[in-house]
Structures are given as structure tokens and as C-alpha cells.
Amino acid sequence: MNTSRLRQRINLHFRDLAKVKDELAARRPVARGIVYVLKRKCGKAGCRCQKGKLHPQICLAWREEGRGRLRPLKAAKEINKYERLTANHRRFRKARARFIKLSKEVVALANKLEQEMLKKGDKR
């Protein structure tokens, strides 16, 4: 690949990095975990859950200090809040992963560019 093409690709990566930077710099509150519906049996002898109709409970689940944590969410306001916070965290993590990938690619392209430049300059 010639040096001009390498420079173009590096510039494209820097444009992508600028977009990712904006996502990483956004000041959104975040929360680890996932909001999901947990279905359980209550244990009462005559309850419908004994016949297979389990009780739904919306929960927030996350890991802390190597252990799984679970918090029931009751109010719709609380459910919406944690759905938004966990979505923000996923968005941040995705942007972070994209940043790492692009950074590695820029370094690899810069190394190739250096090698090409050395080849051209080494014709003594």
C-alpha cells in the first residue's frame, strides 16, 4: 500500500475516533446491569404459580465484588430510570470498545506508513 493511501486511511480513522470521543465524553449517568423480568414460584400451596403461571417481577441484576446482585423494581418510574441508565452504560461500553479497536488500527497503519517511508528514504 502506498503512503498516500495509508495517510488517507489514518485520517478516516481519526474522524471515526472523533465521533467515538463525543460518545465517551457525554455526561450521562450510567448504571451497571440489566433490567429483566424474573418469574418465580411463591411457594403457597393453592397458588397459580404451582400450576405453571409464575409470578413476574421486574428486576435489576448486576455483578458487584464477584457476586451477582438482584434488586426488584416496583414503580414504573424506577423501571424506566434503570432501563435508561443501563442502556447508557451499554452505549458507553460499546464506544469504549470501538475506541480501543480504532486506536489499535491507527497504530498498525502508522507502523506500515513508517515502513513505507523508510523504504522510500533508504534508496541511497
Q: What is the pLDDT of residues 63-82, one digit of tens each?
A: 999 999 999 999 999 999 99
Q: What's the pLDDT score for residue 52?
A: 87
SS3 call for 44: coil
Q: What's the pLDDT score for residue 13?
A: 95
For residue 118, what is its C-alpha cell?
523508510
- Look at residues 2, 36, 30, 27 and name the one whose alpha carbon lies nearest to residue 112: 2
- Distance (Å, rounded) from C-alpha 42 to C-alpha 31? 29
Q: Residue 79: which domain range?
A: 3-121
Specify the pTM: 0.79
Q: Which residues of 14-48 are buried (b: 16+ CB within 10 A; e: fewer)?
A: eebbeebeeeeeeeeeebebebeeeeeeeeeeeee
Q: Which residues of the chain have pLDDT under 70?
A: 122-124
Q: What's the pLDDT score for residue 79?
A: 95
Q: What's the pLDDT score for residue 123?
A: 60
Q: What's the pLDDT score for residue 122?
A: 65
For residue 13, what is its C-alpha cell?
480513522
**Could you tell me if 8 and 100 are in contact, meaning their C-beta atoms sit under 8 angstroms apart?**
no
Tally of structural domains, the chain: 1
Q: What's the pLDDT score for residue 121?
A: 77
Give phi and psi for 46, each to the nearest 5: -95, 15
Q: What's the pLDDT score for residue 56?
A: 93
